[in-house]
Amino acid sequence: MKILAVATDNFEFYYDIVKELKQRDIPFVSLSPRDSIPNTVEVVVTSKTEAPIIDHSRVIAVGKDVRMGIRKALNALSGKSSYQRLIVGIDPGTRPGVALLGDGKLLETAYAESPEDVRTIVERYMDGYDFQRMVVRIGHGDKTNRNRTLNSLTGLAVGTEIVNEEYTTIQSDSPDLEAARKIALSKGEAAYGPHYVEATEGEQREMQRRSRLQSAGDITISKELAKKVVEGELKLSEAIKRQKEGKKED
């Protein structure tokens, strides 16, 4: 069995690396850079400053971008340097769940901080992997956030599909990520944009409710501000600040 080793005396670096490995459920052994490397270890992950003192043929020196380093290490461990097809599955929402599959195998998952932030995650996947084709599949529910997400991907060299997510929700510790994985595995219909975004009355009321929660009951943003937050023009914190300062909407 091929084993990954994390060799470092840097506690902060070790914490960041291990966090990423555990999220992916990747087994590993922990070593000091000066330890003798067991014969069962295929790839060694370490910091750039500690890499020169490690005696091994396959050392991945990781800099500030920990996720990029982990991707390189896992590619080296699997012996797979390129993928025929990468599929990104997205469970739409205010904080979308994202899952990446490479030739049918789950490679990594993430939460986007907003529908628009999905683009940044997809761009990182494009930079971090060698592949022939990428397809982005998104669940059909939550139309407003779905369309915001699709619009954010405009201009990227990826195909986009809308998937019926009726049977993708299950009980788990990370239901949004599991739903994203199932969406990635489901064939959808091609999505052609631009995609119209308009907040519903219910979404505006919900955002007003969230504004009260986030401001500890002090502020309820106006319907106009709530509409802008739902449609992605403002962050909720910005809308609360505007409401508090009493600024009128144009």
The confidence score (pLDDT) of residue 250 equals 45
**pLDDT per residue of the chain (250 residues) written in tens, 0 to 9:** 678 999 999 999 999 999 988 877 788 999 999 999 999 999 999 999 999 999 999 999 999 889 888 888 888 887 777 899 999 999 999 999 999 999 998 888 889 999 999 999 999 899 888 899 999 999 998 999 999 999 999 999 899 999 998 766 665 667 889 999 999 999 999 998 789 999 999 999 999 999 999 999 999 999 999 999 999 999 999 999 999 988 554 4
The residue among 70, 100, 102 whose CA lies nearest residue 4 is: 70
The CATH class for the domain spanning 83-190 reads alpha beta
The residue among 91, 126, 84 whose CA lies nearest residue 105 is: 84
Residues 6+ apart with CB under 8 A from 214: 236, 237, 240
Tell me the fold of 3-78.
Rossmann fold (3.40.50)
